[in-house]
C-alpha cells in the first residue's frame, strides 16, 4: 500500500508541477485584447471622456483615435458577444468602482443585441482580468456562478482546449484579431470571408433572432444608471454590408431602440437605416457581413466623428 | 453521481481511505463501508428510489432462502415465480408501463377505437435493469442448485448494490462476486496499479472519444433531414464509437475502481469492433448481459438443442428481449431484430462458433479474409446502431434512405478543423485497442513498456490529452437510461 500511495503521490506531484508551469506561462506571457481593455480600467493610461460599448461589431469597427480629434479622449470597451446583462455587471462591478466617470457613452447596438445566442458573453468568463478585490467580492456575494468565476480566474482551467495550447509559446494569437494593431480598445478583425457569410446572415436575420426581455431589462437599467451617473448616452449601430431598407425596417429591435431613444431623449444613429451611406454597399470595407475591416473601420470612424460632432454639440 | 464528476473524485478517495485504513483487513467493517457507500452513491442519484433497491435486495434474499428450504420442486417453483413476477413487475411498471399503454392505444386507434389512455409521469429509477438482473441471477442459481443462499444480509446486499456496478453493470453473478465479498481482502499492489490504468483508459474512452463524438452525433441525428448523406454516414460511424467509448469506458472505470478495492468484476467488453462475424461480436460486446441471456433464457428455452429452427427461434427471442431490455421503444426492438437477422446465415451454415480465438493471433496485421470479416461485421453493426440511436423507427428508416443520395460524396458542414483532434484520438484509440487485443484492457502495458519512466510519461501524457481534448460537458453515460 505504501509503495502504491508513494508512486501515486509522485505522479500527481509531476502533474501538479506541469499544471503550475502551464498556468504561469498562460498567465504571464499570453494575453488578448480583453485583458488590455480591463487593464485600461484599473491602470488607466489615457484620459477617457467617452467610452464605447458594444459587441464585436463595435470592437472592430470603431477607432477611438479617430474620434479623439473631437477634442475628447475615447476608449473602446466593446467586447465580442457583449450583451446588456454583461455590461450591467461590468459597469457596476468593475468600471464604475475603478474608473473616473466619463462624460459620454457610445453604445454600438445591434439588431441581435437582445438575443443571448448571438451575444453570448458572460460576466464570469472574464474573471481572469478582474482586480482581486472584485473577484473575491463576487465570489463572496453568491450572485454569480462561483464555479465559472473560479475556473475562468485560473489560466490553466480557462485555456483548456487543444487550440489554446500553441498560446503557451506565443504572446498573442492573431489568427482572428490583429492584436499588434490594438489601439485604445480597437483592433482589426480578419481574414476576409464576406462571401461565405452572406446567405447565412440573411436567413438568420429573417427568421432566427430572438428578443430576451431579460436583456432588454438590463439594457434599460444600465442606460438609466449611466444617465443618473451624469453620463450622456448615445446609441448607434455599425454599418452592415448590403443592409436593405425593406429588410431592416422590419427589425423589431430597431423599432424598440428608436422608441426607447425617443422616450429618453437619447440620440440614435442607425447606420443601417436612416444614417446608412455608400460604405454599406462597399464589399471592400467589410471582413464579413457585419464586421468592418481595417479600412472600413477607418472610414466609418470618420463618418461617426462627423456625426458625433453635431450630436455632442447639441447635447453639450 | 457520475464517474466523470467532481463528486466522484471526492467520494472515491474517502471510500478508499475508510476501506483500507479504517476498516483495515476487517471483513465485516469493509463490507459495511461498501454497503453504506453504495447506498450513499445511489442516494446521490435519487434517494427516493433507495427503498426500491432495498426492497429488491430483500425480496431476492428472502425468496432465495425459501427456494432452498422448500421441500418439493413445486414449492421451489412457486417461490421462484414470486421472485420473478415481483422483480419483472417493478421493472415492467417503471420501465414499460407507458410504452404498453401507448402501444395499446395506437393499435386501438388503428382499428377505429379511441380509448382513454392513462399514462403516468414515471421516472425510471437509475440502474433498475441492472440490479433486478443481479438479484434474479442469484435466485435462478439457487433454484438450479448452483449457489446456496446467503444468511448474511449485509454480504448479500453488497453483492446487489456494490457501487461500481450498481447503475450500469457489469451484471454480476453470485458465483463470481459473492465469494469475493465473503473473503478477506488485502491490498494487492499489482491489481491496484492495473486498476488505476484501467480507470485512466476508461476516462479516455468516455471523456475524449464518447463525449466528443456525442457532440457531432447529436447535431447530425437531431437534424438529419437537413444533413447531406456524407454527414449521415459520419453520424452513424461516430455513434458506433460513441456508444462503444461510453459503455466500455464506463465498464473500465467500474472494473478499475473495483480492483482498487480488491474485487474483480466480470469483463464486459473484449474489443468487439475487431470481430470477424456477428456471433463473435456478441461474444465480445456487453458480455455480462449476453451471457446472462444465454444462461437464463437461451439455454432454458432449449438453446441449440432440438434442431436449427428451434435454435433460430431461440436466437430471435434472445435478441428481441435484449432489445426490449434496453428500453421501451420500438427502435430497440428493431435493433434487436436486425441483429437476430444478421445471425441467421451463421446459424444456417452452422458457423456461429467459428471465430473463437483472437483475430490475427501472433501477428501485427490481419489477413485479407480477416479484414473483410471485420469490415463487414463493423458495417452491419453501424447500420443497426442507426436504429438504436434514432428517436423512432420511421426516423431510422428515413435516415437510412437519405444516406443513399448524391450528397454522399460531399464534405459534411459539421466537419471543421476542430474535428481533427478527435479523428487523431480515434486513430490512436483503435490502434492501441488493436495492439492490446489479447489483453484485458487497452492500458495493460507492463510488458509493452518495461521501463517505469516510459510508463509514467505515458500516464501523464494521457492525463493531459484527456484534459485538453476531452469534453467536460458532464454527459451522463448512455447506459444509465437503461
Closest CA–CA distance from residue B188 to any residue of chain A (Å): 8
Q: Which tens digits make up the pLDDT trace of A26-60?
A: 888 888 999 999 999 999 999 999 999 999 999 99
Contact A18 B460 (CB under 8 A): yes
Q: What is the DSSP string of B41-74?
A: HHHHHHGGGHHHHHHHHHHHHHHHHHHHH-SSHH
**pLDDT score of B406:** 85
**pLDDT score of A207:** 64
User: B146 Cβ partners below 8 Å, 6+ apart?
Assistant: B174, B175
The grid coordinates listed for A107 are 453604445
Closest CA–CA distance from residue A244 to any residue of chain B (Å): 28
The minimal CB distance from A160 to the residues B196, B418, B467 is found for B467
State the Cα–Cα distance between residues B456 and B239, nearest whole angstrom.
32
Q: Which one of B467, B469, B472 would you mutate to disrupt binding with A, by most A Cβ within 10 Å of its Cβ?
A: B467
**pLDDT score of A197:** 58
Average pLDDT over residues B426-453: 90
The minimal CB distance from A165 to the residues B192, B460, B468 is found for B468
The dihedral of CA A278, A284, A285, A288: what is its sign? positive
Contact B468 A15 (CB under 8 A): no
Q: Give the pLDDT band of residue A204 (cuts 50, 70, 90).
A: low
**pLDDT score of B352:** 83
Choice among A110-119, B155-164, B440-449 with the minimum mean pLDDT:
B440-449
B267, burial (CB in 10 Å: exposed 0-12, middle 13-18, buried 19+): middle
In DSSP terms, A286 is beta-bridged to: A292
Contact A162 B421 (CB under 8 A): yes
Nearest CA to A288 out of A189, A205, A208 is that of: A189
**pLDDT score of A198:** 57
**A194 has a pLDDT exceeding 80:** no
State the Cα–Cα distance between residues A153 and A155, nearest whole angstrom.
6
**pLDDT score of B307:** 84
The minimal CB distance from B463 to the residues A7, A8, A15 is found for A15
Contact A4 B468 (CB under 8 A): no
CA within 13 Å, CB half, B17: 6
Q: Give the pLDDT band of residue A203 (cuts 50, 70, 90).
A: low
Average pLDDT over residues A159-170: 86
Average pLDDT over residues B329-357: 91
Q: Enumerate residues 267 to 296 of chain A having a beta carbon within 8 A of any beta carbon in chain B.
A: none
Contact B460 A15 (CB under 8 A): yes
Q: Find, in chain B, the residue whose alpha carbon is nearest to that of A10.
A: B456
- Cis peptide bond prior to B170, omega within 30° of 0: yes
A4 touches chain B (CB under 8 A): yes
Average pLDDT over residues B159-165: 94
Contact B193 A4 (CB under 8 A): yes
Average pLDDT over residues B84-105: 83
User: B393 Cβ partners below 8 Å, 6+ apart?
Assistant: B330, B331, B334, B387
Question: Helix crossing, B420-435 with B229-260: angle to 10°?
Answer: 50
Q: Which one of A1, A5, A18, A162 would you mutate to disrupt binding with B, by most B Cβ within 10 Å of its Cβ?
A: A162
Residues of A in contact with B418 (CB under 8 A): 163
**B104 has a pLDDT exceeding 80:** no
Chain B residues at the A interface, defined by Cβ less than 8 Å, are: 20, 187, 189, 192-193, 196, 418, 421, 456, 459-460, 463-464, 467-469, 472
- Residue positions of B annotated with a catalytic role: 326
Closest CA–CA distance from residue A181 to any residue of chain B (Å): 26
Closest CA–CA distance from residue A196 to any residue of chain B (Å): 13
Cα–Cα distances in Å, from B236 out to A125, A232, B241, B247, B470?
35, 57, 9, 16, 21
The more confident residue out of A90 and B308 is A90
**pLDDT score of A205:** 63
Q: Give the pLDDT band of residue A163 (cuts 50, 70, 90).
A: confident
Q: Which tens digits make up the pLDDT trace of B211-241?
A: 999 999 999 999 999 889 999 999 999 999 9
Percent above pLDDT 70 for chain B? 97
Phi, psi dihedrals of residue B44, rounded to the nearest 5°: -65, -25
Mean pLDDT computed over every residue of chain A: 92
Q: Find, in chain A, the residue whose alpha carbon is nearest to that of B471.
A: A161
**B366 has a pLDDT exceeding 90:** yes
Contact B20 A1 (CB under 8 A): yes
Average pLDDT over residues B19-34: 93
Contact A18 B459 (CB under 8 A): no
Contact A11 B456 (CB under 8 A): yes
Contact A4 B469 (CB under 8 A): no
Choice among A279-288, B1-10, B241-250, B288-297 with the minimum mean pLDDT:
B1-10
The dihedral of CA B387, B391, B397, B401: what is its sign? negative
The grid coordinates listed for B134 are 443481479
A14 touches chain B (CB under 8 A): yes
Q: Which tens digits make up the pLDDT trace of A222-263?
A: 999 999 999 999 999 999 988 888 888 888 899 999 999 999
Phi, psi dihedrals of residue A150, rounded to the nearest 5°: -70, -50
**A316 has a pLDDT exceeding 60:** no
Assembly ipTM: 0.82
Choice among B254-268, B331-345, B357-371, B408-422 with the minimum mean pLDDT:
B408-422
Contact A160 B421 (CB under 8 A): no
**B96 has a pLDDT exceeding 80:** no
**pLDDT score of B306:** 80
Nearest 5 degrees, angle CA B413-CA B414-CA B417? 95
Cα–Cα distances in Å, from A315 out to A53, A288, B185, B368?
19, 34, 83, 83
Which value, to the nearest 10 degrees, does the dihedral of the CA atoms of residues B116, B117, B118, B120 take? -150
Q: Find, in chain A, the residue whose alpha carbon is nearest to that of B461.
A: A15
Q: Give the pLDDT band of residue B99 (cuts 50, 70, 90).
A: confident
Average pLDDT over residues B149-161: 95
A9 touches chain B (CB under 8 A): no
Instruction: Determine the 3-state secondary structure of B399 from DSSP.
Output: helix
Q: What is the DSSP string of chain A?
A: -HHHHHHHHHHHHHHHHHHHHHHHHHHHT---HHHHHHHHHHS--S--SEEEEESHHHHTT--HHHHGGGSS-EEE---TT--HHHHHHIIIIIIHHHSPPPSEEEEEE-TTTT-TTTS---GGGGGGGS-HHHHHHHHHH--S-HHHHHHHHSHHHHS-SGGGGGGGGSS---SSB-GGG-BTTB--B-S--HHHHHHHHHHIIIII----HHHHHHHHHHHHHHHHTTPEEEEEE---TT--HHHHTT-HHHHHHHHHHHHTT--EEETTTTT--GGGG-GGGBSSSS-B-HHHHHHHHHHHHHHHHHHHHHH-
A160 touches chain B (CB under 8 A): yes
Q: Are B260 and B281 in contact, with CB atoms under 8 Å apart?
A: no
State the Cα–Cα distance between residues A107 and A236, nearest whole angstrom.
6
Average pLDDT over residues B322-345: 91
Q: Give the pLDDT band of residue A315 (cuts 50, 70, 90).
A: low
Q: Find, in chain A, the residue whose alpha carbon is nearest to that of B188.
A: A1
Q: Which tens digits make up the pLDDT trace of B173-213?
A: 999 999 999 998 999 999 999 999 999 999 999 999 999 99
Q: Which tens digits make up the pLDDT trace of A257-300?
A: 999 999 999 999 999 999 999 999 999 999 998 899 999 999 99
A13 touches chain B (CB under 8 A): no
**pLDDT score of B94:** 81
A15 touches chain B (CB under 8 A): yes
Counted across chains A and B, CB pairs separated by less than 8 A come out at 30
DSSP-derived letter for residue B257 is: H
| Maximal C-alpha separation, chain A | 80
**A165 has a pLDDT exceeding 60:** yes
Q: Find, in chain A, the residue whose alpha carbon is nearest to that of B417.
A: A163
User: B293 Cβ partners below 8 Å, 6+ apart?
Assistant: B318, B321, B322
Residues of A in contact with B20 (CB under 8 A): 1
Closest CA–CA distance from residue A307 to any residue of chain B (Å): 42
Nearest CA to B163 out of B19, B296, B277 is that of: B19
Residues of B in contact with A18 (CB under 8 A): 460, 464
**pLDDT score of B119:** 61
Cα–Cα distances in Å, from B166 out to A47, A229, B319?
64, 60, 24
Contact A162 B20 (CB under 8 A): no
Amino acid at each position: 500500500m505504501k509503495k502504491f500511495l508513494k508512486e501515486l503521490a509522485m505522479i500527481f506531484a509531476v502533474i501538479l508541477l506541469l499544471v503550475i508551469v502551464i498556468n504561469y506561462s498562460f498567465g504571464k506571457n499570453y494575453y488578448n485584447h480583453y485583458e488590455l481593455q480591463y487593464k485600461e480600467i484599473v491602470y488607466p493610461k489615457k484620459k477617457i471622456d467617452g467610452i464605447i460599448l458594444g459587441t464585436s461589431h463595435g470592437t472592430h469597427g470603431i477607432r477611438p483615435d479617430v474620434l479623439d480629434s473631437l477634442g475628447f479622449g475615447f476608449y473602446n470597451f466593446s467586447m465580442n458577444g457583449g450583451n446588456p446583462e454583461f455590461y450591467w455587471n461590468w459597469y457596476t462591478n468593475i468600471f464604475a468602482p475603478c474608473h473616473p466617470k466619463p462624460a459620454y457613452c457610445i453604445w454600438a447596438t445591434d439588431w441581435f443585441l437582445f438575443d443571448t445566442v448571438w451575444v453570448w458573453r458572460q460576466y464570469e468568463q472574464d474573471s481572469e482580468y478582474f482586480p482581486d478585490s472584485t473577484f473575491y467580492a463576487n465570489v463572496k456575494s453568491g450572485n454569480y456562478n462561483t464555479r465559472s468565476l473560479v475556473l475562468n480566474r485560473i489560466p490553466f482551467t480557462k485555456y483548456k482546449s487543444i487550440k489554446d495550447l500553441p498560446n503557451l509559446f506565443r504572446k498573442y494569437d492573431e489568427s482572428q484579431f490583429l492584436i499588434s494593431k490594438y489601439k485604445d480598445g480597437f483592433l482589426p478583425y480578419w481574414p476576409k470571408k464576406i462571401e461565405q457569410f452572406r446567405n447565412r446572415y440573411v436567413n438568420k436575420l429573417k427568421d432566427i433572432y430572438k428578443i430576451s426581455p431579460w436583456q432588454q431589462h438590463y439594457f434599460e437599467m444600465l442606460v438609466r444608471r449611466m444617465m443618473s451617473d451624469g453620463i450622456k448616452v448615445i446609441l448607434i449601430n455599425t454599418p452592415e454590408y448590403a443592409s436593405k431598407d425593406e429588410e431592416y425596417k422590419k427589425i423589431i429591435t430597431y423599432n424598440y431602440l428608436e422608441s426607447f431613444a425617443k422616450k429618453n431623449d437619447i440620440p440614435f444613429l442607425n447606420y443601417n437605416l436612416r444614417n446608412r451611406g455608400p460604405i454599406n454597399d462597399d464589399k471592400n470595407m467589410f471582413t464579413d457581413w457585419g464586421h468592418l475591416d481595417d479600412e472600413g473601420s477607418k472610414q466609418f470612424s470618420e463618418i461617426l466623428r462627423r456625426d458625433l460632432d453635431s450630436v455632442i454639440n447639441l447635447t453639450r | 453521481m457520475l464517474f466523470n464528476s467532481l463528486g466522484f473524485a471526492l467520494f472515491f478517495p474517502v471510500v478508499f481511505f475508510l476501506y483500507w485504513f479504517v476498516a483495515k483487513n476487517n471483513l465485516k467493517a469493509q463490507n459495511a463501508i461498501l454497503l453504506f457507500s453504495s447506498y450513499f452513491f445511489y442516494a446521490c442519484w435519487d434517494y427516493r428510489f433507495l427503498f426500491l433497491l432495498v426492497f429488491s435486495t430483500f425480496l431476492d434474499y428472502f425468496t432465495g432462502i425459501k427456494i432452498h428450504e422448500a421441500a418439493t420442486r413445486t414449492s421451489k417453483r412457486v417461490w421462484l415465480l414470486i421472485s420473478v413476477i415481483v422483480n419483472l413487475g417493478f421493472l415492467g411498471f417503471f420501465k414499460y408501463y407507458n410504452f404498453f399503454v401507448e402501444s395499446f392505444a395506437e393499435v386501438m386507434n388503428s382499428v377505429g377505437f379511441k380509448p382513454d389512455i392513462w399514462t403516468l409521469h414515471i421516472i425510471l429509477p437509475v440502474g433498475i435493469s441492472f440490479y433486478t438482473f443481479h438479484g434474479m441471477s442469484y435466485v435462478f442459481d439457487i433454484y438450479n442448485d448452483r449457489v446456496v443462499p446467503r444468511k448474511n444480509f449485509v454480504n448479500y446486499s453488497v453483492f446487489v448494490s456494490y457501487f461500481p456496478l450498481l447503475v450500469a453493470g457489469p451484471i454480476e453473478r453470485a458465483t463470481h462476486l459473492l465469494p469475493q465479498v465473503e473473503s478477506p481482502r488485502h491490498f494487492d499492489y499489482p491489481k491496484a496499479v492495473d486498476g488505476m490504468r484501467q480507470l485512466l483508459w476508461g476516462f479516455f474512452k468516455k471523456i475524449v472519444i464518447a463525449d466528443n463524438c456525442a457532440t457531432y452525433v447529436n447535431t447530425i441525428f437531431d437534424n438529419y433531414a437537413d444533413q447531406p448523406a456524407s454527414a449521415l454516414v459520419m453520424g452513424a460511424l461516430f455513434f458506433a464509437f460513441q456508444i462503444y467509448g461510453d459503455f466500455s469506458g464506463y465498464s473500465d472505470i467500474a472494473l478499475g475502481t473495483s480492483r482498487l478495492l480488491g474485487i474483480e468484476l466480470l469483463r464486459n467488453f473484449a474489443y468487439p469492433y475487431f470481430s470477424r462475424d456477428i456471433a463473435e461480436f456478441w461474444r465480445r460486446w456487453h458480455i455480462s448481459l449476453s451471457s446472462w441471456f444465454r444462461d437464463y433464457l437461451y439455454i432454458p428455452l432449449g438453446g441449440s438443442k432440438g434442431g436449427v429452427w428451434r435454435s433460430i427461434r431461440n436466437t430471435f427471442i434472445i435478441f428481441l428481449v435484449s432489445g426490449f431490455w434496453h428500453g421501451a421503444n420500438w427502435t430497440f426492438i428493431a435493433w434487436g431484430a436486425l441483429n437476430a437477422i444478421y445471425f441467421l446465415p451463421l446459424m444456417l451454415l452452422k458457423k456461429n462458433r467459428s471465430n473463437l480465438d483472437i483475430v490475427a493471433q501472433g501477428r501485427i496485421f490481419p489477413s485479407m479474409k480477416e479484414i473483410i470479416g471485420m469490415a463487414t461485421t463493423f458495417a452491419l453493426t453501424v447500420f443497426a446502431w442507426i436504429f438504436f440511436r434514432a428517436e423512432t423507427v420511421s426516423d431510422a428508416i428515413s435516415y437510412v434512405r437519405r444516406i443513399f443520395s448524391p450528397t454522399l460524396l460531399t464534405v459534411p458542414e459539421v466537419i471543421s478543423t476542430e474535428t481533427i483532434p478527435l479523428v487523431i484520438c480515434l486513430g490512436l484509440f483503435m490502434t492501441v485497442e488493436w495492439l492490446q487485443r489479447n489483453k484485458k484492457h487497452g492500458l495493460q502495458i507492463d510488458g509493452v513498456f518495461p521501463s517505469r519512466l516510459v510508463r509514467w510519461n505515458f500516464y501523464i501524457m494521457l492525463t493531459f490529452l484527456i484534459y485538453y481534448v476531452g469534453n467536460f460537458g458532464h454527459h451522463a453515460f448512455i447506459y444509465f437510461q437503461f
